[in-house]
């Protein structure tokens, strides 16, 4: 009896082994936390990734090449209940041999795993050859195709017959597999680019995600050509062209647009969600985040938030929306908001007025700073852009080591032009140096606006309108800030708070982190001033012309002279000195020197002075030895040809040195 039982058990094991071998199934493993079933098709390894719960109809997506590379869309679809399939067809280039193996794979997974009779094809790079050729061979079995930087014309890659690099070894193998000569390859129906009509007739939707600067699989020789021909055949194709992106990186960091495309064409349009950004990545750098301010808002139920910048910050718009967002996120917190925006001013004046306009209001927990537009358009040199921004950031942290700071890089037409050329505007690169050095968050809103325009979401002229945004633009800025806050605070409970922020050495020891304003009355009262004939202090200066003014630079004390040759001296202590003037229609030029040095000339008339008494900050010396110094200023005989006079109105001296 025991012998019979043993024989029966052995028979069952042999039967099970025979089933496994006949079905080419290998024991399940795991991938990204999902069940993985391995099998073999015609001696080629294959597998199927199973969702935790299959969606109705058991939909599936079929990666044709480079499984596991940039898998964010696959993972997102697995979470939606899709299966993901793959068969290893390396170096078969979508050839007839590969097509036969794919036919067998389709039959197996639909029969053994009861998957949908229509698949979603997903072709990465050369995987596009497989996807497009198999769809043309089996149009009734394809729901839609998502191709990523795909090869669509094999004479482009690996042939290298256009402007792409090509790959001679791959080209030789491809021709042999397809049994084609080079001459035949260009017109062969086995080349996907020449066989699109059957896909269009079957109304198979296409999505291609490509890099606009791809020099391996050039977009104009592949996806753009497919788009043109497909539309001529009446086919539906969506092209996402990532600006300034080469062949890599593939896919989209946020795969929402890809997932939406698949869901829309597989019977799940109700699950489509709004993508946050056009190309799947966001425009902020989180670095060390904003944990300190969050902790303060939650623990003490009080918070002070400052907004420092130019006219875009001074105007109503994004700043007010950001305040509302903070109150929404922390409904039990009492906020004090400091609006410290003054039109026309960038980071250098910001560093010197930071104490007066921000720190004097009390301990600040969170600071938003923007200066990229004015630092650029006002013509500040690279070194000034770094010194000014570092002056603000370092002052902020010195005043309160737990203060969080966010740098905002706003947009203007010049920045759009540079970004479209694949460049990072210099001023943004300079400010990013500071952000990286101090590990503070930043948002490149200039790039975001440029790329959203490229994606066709809106236009500059009709929607954004100007570097001073329409309400639409202010809302866009505020939404971007909201996404940064969500990323910074979304998992804050799981992160430990740094007890003390470690302050690095300065990027530039001459940066303006000891910057302060010294007004004419204070300078005179402290016996810093020596005024010769021609200079007067007017207690409440107002222009007598009709030119505009800026808040804080009118109806205030001003040191004034308008006669060439008028001289003055200022005794000061520190490493740097400058002037903050109201540069109007009659503004002239100065000659100056420090510590009996060489006289230098500086025109204070600006391109905007004809209609505006512009607040204009100019550093005269920035790299002095720390100590006592003397500045001499003389009204120059020369002035700008457009100026109506020689007037110089000093509202503040800019002193970089401890009080």
pLDDT given for residue 20 in this prediction: 39
Please report the pLDDT score of residue 106 as a whole number: 98
How does pLDDT run across 380-431, given as a tens digit for each residue?
999 999 999 999 999 999 999 999 999 999 999 999 999 999 999 999 999 9
pTM to 2 decimal places: 0.87
Share of the chain above pLDDT 70, in %: 94
pLDDT band at residue 29 under the 50/70/90 scheme: confident
pLDDT at 408: 98
The dihedrals phi and psi of 494, each to the nearest 5 degrees, come to: -90, 0
Q: Is 506 exposed, middle or buried (0-12, 13-18, 19+ CB in 10 A)?
A: middle
Sign of the torsion angle spanned by Cα atoms 136, 41, 71, 74: positive
Fold adopted by 284-494: Rossmann fold (3.40.50)
CATH architecture of 515-656: Sandwich (2.60)
Q: What pLDDT, on a 0 to 100 scale, did the predictor assign at position 498?
A: 47
With cut-offs at 50, 70 and 90, classify the pLDDT of residue 658. confident
- In 554-647, DSSP assigns E strands to 556-561, 567-574, 576-583, 589-594, 600-603, 614-621, 627-635
Residue 12 is predicted with a pLDDT of 41
pLDDT bracket for residue 513 (50, 70, 90): very high
Query: What's the confidence (pLDDT) of residue 491?
Result: 60
Rounded to the nearest 10 degrees, the angle between the axes of helix 168-178 and helix 96-112 is: 70
Q: Residue 327 is inside which H or E element, if any? A: helix 318-329
Q: Is the pLDDT of residue 9 over 90?
A: no
CA 553 from centre of chain: 35
Look at domain 22-268 and name its CATH class: alpha beta
In this prediction, residues 234-239 reach a mean pLDDT of 97
Checking if the pLDDT of 15 tops 60, the result is no
Question: How far apart are the C-alpha atoms of 378 and 617, rounded to whole Å?
Answer: 10
Where residue 490 falls among pLDDT bands split at 50, 70, 90? Answer: confident
Question: Residue range 598-626: average pLDDT?
Answer: 97
**249 touches 261 (CB < 8 A):** no
pLDDT category at 313 given cuts 50, 70, 90 is: very high
Kindly list the domain boundaries of the chain, sorted by start residue.
22-268, 284-494, 515-656
pLDDT above 60 (res 339): yes
501: confidence class by pLDDT, cuts 50, 70, 90: confident
Q: How far apart are CA 157 and CA 150, in angstroms?
A: 10
**pLDDT at residue 122, rounded to an integer:** 98
Burial class (CB in 10 A: 0-12, 13-18, 19+), 14: exposed
- Given a cut of 70, whether residue 2 has pLDDT beyond it is no
Does the pLDDT at position 8 exceed 70?
Answer: no
Task: Write down the residue that tokens 């100019």 correspond to.
Answer: 618
| Predicted pLDDT of residue 228 | 97
Phi and psi, residue 13, nearest 5°: -65, -45
Query: What average pLDDT does the structure give for the chain?
Result: 94
Among 651, 628, 656, 648, smallest CA distance to 527 is for: 628
Give the 3-state secondary structure of 5-59. Answer: HHHHHHHHHHHHHHHHHHHCEEEEEEECCEEEEEEEECCEEEEEEECCCCCCCCC
Distance of CA 231 to the CA centre of its chain: 32
Q: What is the mean predicted confidence (pLDDT) over 572-598?
A: 98
Which residues is 590 bridged to in the sheet?
Answer: 602, 635
What does the DSSP assignment read for 195-245?
--HHHHHTT--EEEEEETT-SSS-GGGTHHHHHHHHHHTT--EEEEEETT-
The H or E element that residue 372 is part of is: helix 372-377
Model pLDDT, residue 319: 98
pLDDT surpassing 50 at residue 13:
no
Domains 22-268 and 284-494 equal at CATH topology level: yes
DSSP codes joined into one string, 44-106: EEEEEEEPSSPPTT--EEEE-SSTTSSTHHHHHHHHTT-EEEEE--TT-TT-HHHHHHHHHHH
Q: Tell me which H or E stretch contains 309.
A: strand 302-309
- The pLDDT of residue 26 is above 70: no
Res 494 pLDDT > 70: no
DSSP characters for 117-143? SSEEEEEETTHHHHHHHHHHH-GGGEE
pLDDT in tens, 125-142: 999 999 999 999 999 999
């Amino acid at each position: 009896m025991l012998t019979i039982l043993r024989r029966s058990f052995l028979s069952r094991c042999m039967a099970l082994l025979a089933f496994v071998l006949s079905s080419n199934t290998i024991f399940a493993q795991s991938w990204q936390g999902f069940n993985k079933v391995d099998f073999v098709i015609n001696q080629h390894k294959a597998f199927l990734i199973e969702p935790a719960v299959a969606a109705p109809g058991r939909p599936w997506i079929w990666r044709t090449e480079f499984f596991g590379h940039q898998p964010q869309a696959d993972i997102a679809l697995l979470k939606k209940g899709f299966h993901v399939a793959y068969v290893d067809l390396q170096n078969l280039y979508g050839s007839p041999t590969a097509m036969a193996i794919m036919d067998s794979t389709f039959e197996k997974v639909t029969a053994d795993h009861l998957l949908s009779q229509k698949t979603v094809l997903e072709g990465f790079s050369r995987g596009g050859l497989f996807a497009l050729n198999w769809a043309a061979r089996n149009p009734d079995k394809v729901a839609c195709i998502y191709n990523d930087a795909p090869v669509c014309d094999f004479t482009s890659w690996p042939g290298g017959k256009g402007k792409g690099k090509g790959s001679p070894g791959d080209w030789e193998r491809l021709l042999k597999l397809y049994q084609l000569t080079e001459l035949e390859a260009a017109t062969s129906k086995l080349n996907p680019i020449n066989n699109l009509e059957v896909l269009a007739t079957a109304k198979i939707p296409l999505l291609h995600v490509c890099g606009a600067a791809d020099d391996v699989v050039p977009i104009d020789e592949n996806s753009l050509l497919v788009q043109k021909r497909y539309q001529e055949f009446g086919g539906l194709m969506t092209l996402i062209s990532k600006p300034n992106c080469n062949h890599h990186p593939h896919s989209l960091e946020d795969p929402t647009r890809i997932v939406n495309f698949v869901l829309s064409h597989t019977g799940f349009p109700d699950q489509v969600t709004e993508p946050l950004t056009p190309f799947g990545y966001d425009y902020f750098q989180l670095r060390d985040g904003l944990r300190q301010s969050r902790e303060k808002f939650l623990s003490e139920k009080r918070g002070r938030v400052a907004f420092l910048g130019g006219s875009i910050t001074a105007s109503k718009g994004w700043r007010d929306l950001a305040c509302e967002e903070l109150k929404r996120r922390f409904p039990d917190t009492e906020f004090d908001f400091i609006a410290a925006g003054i039109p026309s001013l960038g980071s250098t004046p910001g560093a010197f007025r930071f104490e007066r306009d921000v720190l004097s209001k009390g301990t600040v927990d969170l600071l938003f700073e923007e200066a990229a537009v004015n630092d650029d358009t006002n013509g500040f040199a690279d070194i000034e852009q770094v010194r000014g921004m570092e002056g603000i950031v370092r002052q902020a942290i010195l005043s309160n080591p737990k203060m969080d700071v966010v740098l905002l890089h706003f947009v203007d037409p010049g920045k759009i032009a540079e970004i479209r050329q694949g460049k990072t505007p210099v001023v943004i690169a300079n400010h990013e140096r500071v952000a990286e050095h101090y590990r503070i968050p930043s948002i490149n809103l200039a790039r975001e606006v440029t790329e959203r325009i490229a994606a066709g979401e809106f236009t500059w002229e009709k929607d954004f309108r100007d570097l001073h945004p329409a309400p639409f633009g202010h809302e866009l800025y505020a939404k971007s800030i909201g996404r940064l806050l969500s990323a910074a605070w979304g998992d804050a409970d799981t992160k430990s708070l740094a007890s003390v922020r470690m302050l690095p050495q300065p990027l530039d020891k001459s940066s303006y982190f000891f910057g302060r304003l010294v007004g004419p009355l204070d300078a005179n009262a402290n016996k810093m001033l020596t005024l010769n004939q021609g200079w007067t202090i007017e207690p409440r200066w107002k222009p007598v012309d009709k030119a505009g003014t800026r808040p804080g630079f009118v109806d205030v004390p001003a040191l004034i002279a308008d006669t060439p040759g008028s001289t003055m001296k200022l005794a000061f202590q520190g490493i740097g000195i400058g002037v903050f003037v109201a540069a109007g229609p009659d503004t002239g030029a100065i000659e100056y020197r420090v510590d009996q040095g060489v006289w230098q000339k500086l025109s204070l008339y600006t391109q905007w002075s004809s209609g505006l008494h512009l607040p204009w900050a100019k550093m005269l010396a920035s790299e002095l030895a720390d100590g006592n110094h003397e500045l001499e200023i003389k009204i120059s005989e020369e002035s700008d040809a457009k100026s109506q006079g020689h007037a110089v109105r000093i509202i503040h001296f800019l002193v970089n040195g401890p009080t």
